[in-house]
Amino acid sequence: MAKRTSSAAEILRNRYVNNDPERKASVEAERVNAEIARLIYAERTGARLTQEQLAELVGTTQSVISRLEDSDYDGHSLSMLNRIAGALRKKLTVLMTASDTNAAAPSSEGTSQ
């Protein structure tokens, strides 16, 4: 007998994503975009800056900062994130983690180290 759940997120994930690799990738991309947007917003507001003030420090416009803080935006660049981190006197760190603990590690054959 299958285990039942009352978690809305789990029910939706099972119904709409299930084991579809394309849908899983899409959900993951959206999760990353939302996480970046929340991070920029949290760091900016934690520094007690307006979007316009941060934009001036970064050398861009308020509308760019607004777009970066929108979870639907998918054009984040490491260059811009690094500029924002520098303006906030922070260090940008990028971390890669396993997406599937059952997946085999990619071979390093034919790659330079």
Q: How far is CA 61 from CA 33, 34, 54, 57, in A?
A: 20, 21, 9, 10
Question: What's this model's pTM, rounded to 2 decimal places?
Answer: 0.72
pLDDT digits (tens, 9 = 90+) for 21-69: 888 888 888 889 999 999 999 999 999 999 999 999 999 999 999 999 9
Domain chopping of the chain, boundaries: 9-87
CB 83 within 8 A of CB 58: yes
The tokens of 32 are what? 């990353």
pLDDT band at 15 (very low <50, low <70, confident <90, very high): confident
| CATH, range 9-87 | 1.10.260.40
Query: Tell me, what DSSP letter sits at residue 17?
Result: I
Query: Measured between alpha carbons, how far is 112 from 109 in angstroms, rounded to an integer?
Result: 8
The tokens of 3 are what? 């285990």
pLDDT digits (tens, 9 = 90+) for 63-110: 999 999 999 998 999 999 999 999 999 999 998 888 764 444 444 444
